[in-house]
Amino acid sequence: MQIEAIHEIDLTRGQDEEIASLLSDAFGPDTGYDNRSFYKQRFHMRLIMRDEGQVVGHVALLLREVRLGGQHVPIIGVGEVGTAHSHRGQGIATSLMTEAIAQSRKTLAAFMVLFGVRPLYAGLGFVNKPNKMRLMAVHELRTLRIDERCEPSLMVLPLKDEPWNNDALLDLLGPMF
């Protein structure tokens, strides 16, 4: 199995449908994907893994500028980390996340940011952060409001030598990913 990178602008209808099918399998039919390859927004790049032509793993990456206190900070947002039920326990998510980290280190981003609770993330160096966040609340592809809240699943991985300010308001300048 090999990892394939697909830029969102190059995503074909067939690839989009394959990813949507995988995400439905990985997260369940009633999780809000509604046969889409994304939950709240499209990403900039997808990393997928295939086994005998079938997509069995996926992670999506988004380059975004956010505000951390008074600073503008470029980040890579990580979303939709999923593995087909039939291929769980084979290290697919770990391989995809390791590649995502390697590719992210080559970008302008200072940090990778994700919202998750799986031990895999801590094992790769992501750390929970206590920051209060400002974000656009999105549900079923509709903007609802702007929220400010703490999100216990916020995890951050430094990509450069910049420190993360745990006390600063994190303004995502958009929805969670």
Tell me the CATH number at 123: 3.40.630.30
Q: Does residue 76 contact residue 112 with C-beta atoms inside 8 Å? A: yes
As a whole number, mean pLDDT of residues 93-121 equals 96
pLDDT, tens digit, 9 for 90 and up, residues 37-92: 888 889 999 999 999 999 999 999 999 999 999 999 999 999 999 999 999 999 99
Q: In whole angstroms, what is the distance from residue 76 CA to residue 62 CA?
A: 5
In a domain, 176, yes or no: no
Would you place residue 32 in the very low, low, confident or very high pLDDT band (cuts 50, 70, 90)? low
| Average per-residue pLDDT for the chain | 94
In a domain, 177, yes or no: no
As a whole number, mean pLDDT of residues 92-106 equals 97
Tokens representing residue 164 in the block: 């993360």
Provide the residue range defining the domain that includes 139. Answer: 3-171
Total number of domains constituting the chain:
1
pTM of the model: 0.92
In a domain, 24, yes or no: yes
Tokens representing residue 105 in the block: 């280190």
Per-residue pLDDT at 168 exceeds 90: yes
Percent of the chain with pLDDT over 70: 98
Of 32 and 160, which is predicted with more confidence?
A: 160
